Amino acid sequence: MADGPDGRGRVVAAATDGACSGNPGPGGWGALIRFEDGSVEEFGGADPATTNNRMELQAALATLQRLAELPLHPDLTLRTDSKYLIDGLGSWMAGWKRKGWRTAAGKPVLNQDLWQALDQARLAEVPLRYVKGHSGDPDNDRVDQIAVAYSKGRKQAPPSPSPSSGSSKSSGSAKAAPHQASVDPAPVSLQKLLTRMELADRLASGGYALTAVELAQLVEQPLNRLSERQGSWRWRDWLVEPVGSDRWRLRRDPSGSKQT
């Protein structure tokens, strides 16, 4: 593990999201970055009069600026559910710049200030990766919670960096809707575990291979611990098998024995 200045290692995962009530209206943005030692850093911000798209751009801008200060894992991607952000940076920006920051229709590009700042802050070694919003992706769900909290004017900051991703994520659960107040839900930690196990089952059924970074996110173990694994090993109801090139595949454990 390549240590950063504070011993947390490299950044292995990053996610951002934006939220807005009214669009335009009060908005917020949230961001999350994970380190090799399993620690998590979360941050966010608010704007009293903005749009959802501006919050998505602001979240990515703040995250890229933060990543520029840190050691990065070569497999790092910035995960976002904003196709506006991905298409803007990946497809549209070159044309906007050629036309003097005007669209194909000749109109000024909206949110030009943020797009120009993103153009300066982008990191060639950190590609954007689309993740469908509200699809059970734990990091996307967490940054959505942070963004919504800020958009609703909550004064408290997101959880401070913690020694393990599990403790950090469990502290930011969303409040239940008013009509659900009388329901006694399962603890948030169990709800998140179920989400991860359901995802593991889909990955195993589909035969998908995971990078070490992705596997570390799924099983919530530090990347350096996974690098020490030799051969196949068990995680709960699944066998985790190496498939070469630093990739792993999940398979249902027929013996039914469980080991984390």
C-alpha 144/C-alpha 243 separation (Å) is 33
- 2 assigned to some structural domain: no
Query: What's this model's pTM, rounded to 2 decimal places?
Result: 0.67
Closest alpha carbon to 233 in 260, 252, 198: 260
Residue 105 lies in domain: 11-162
Q: Read off the CATH number of the domain in which 121 is found.
A: 3.30.420.10
* Torsion sign, CA atoms 86, 88, 92, 97: negative
The whole-number average pLDDT for the span 210-227 is 81
The rounded distance, in Å, linking the Cα atoms of 117 and 128 is 16
| Domain contains 64 | yes
Q: Is residue 1 part of a domain?
A: no
Chain segment 48-93, per-residue pLDDT in tens: 999 999 999 999 999 999 999 999 999 999 999 999 999 999 999 9
Which pLDDT belongs to residue 223?
Answer: 77
Same domain, 149 and 193: no
Lookup: tokens for 105: 């229709």
DSSP SS3 for 7: coil
Task: Specify which of 38-42, 154-158, 211-215, 241-245 reaches the highest per-range mean pLDDT.
Answer: 38-42
**Shared domain check, 77 and 195:** no
Based on the domain organization, do 135 and 197 belong to the same domain? no
Give the C-alpha separation, 108 to 48, whole Å.
24
Indicate if 112 and 193 belong to the same structural domain. Answer: no
Cβ neighbours, 10 Å, residue 142? 28
Nearest to 130 by CA among 211, 248, 15, 249: 15
Query: Do 96 and 157 fall within a single domain?
Result: yes
Residues 154 and 225 grouped into a single domain: no
Residue 95 maps to a domain: yes
**Are residues 123 and 227 both part of a single domain?**
no
**Residue 99 and residue 101: Cα distance in Å, rounded?**
6
Question: Do 109 and 207 sit in the same domain of this protein?
Answer: no
Residue 172 has pLDDT above 50, yes or no: no
pLDDT at site 171: 35
- The CA distance from 37 to 227, in Å, is 12
Residue 70: its pLDDT value, please?
96
The catalytic site residues sit at 17-18, 56, 81, 134, 144
Residue 146 located in a structural domain: yes
Alpha helices, H only, the chain: 52-67, 83-87, 93-98, 112-121, 138-151, 165-170, 188-206, 212-219, 223-227
Give the chain's domain count: 2
Q: At which of 162, 196, 224 does a domain end?
A: 162
Instruction: Report how many helices (DSSP H) and strands (DSSP E) the chain contains, helices first.
Output: 9, 9
**Domain presence at residue 5:** no
Q: Is residue 207 part of a domain?
A: yes
pLDDT value of residue 222: 81
Q: Is residue 144 domain-shared with residue 205, that is, in the same domain? A: no
Instruction: Clarify whether residues 28 and 115 are in a common domain.
Output: yes
Residue at 46 is within a domain = yes
On whether both 109 and 229 belong to a single domain, the answer is no
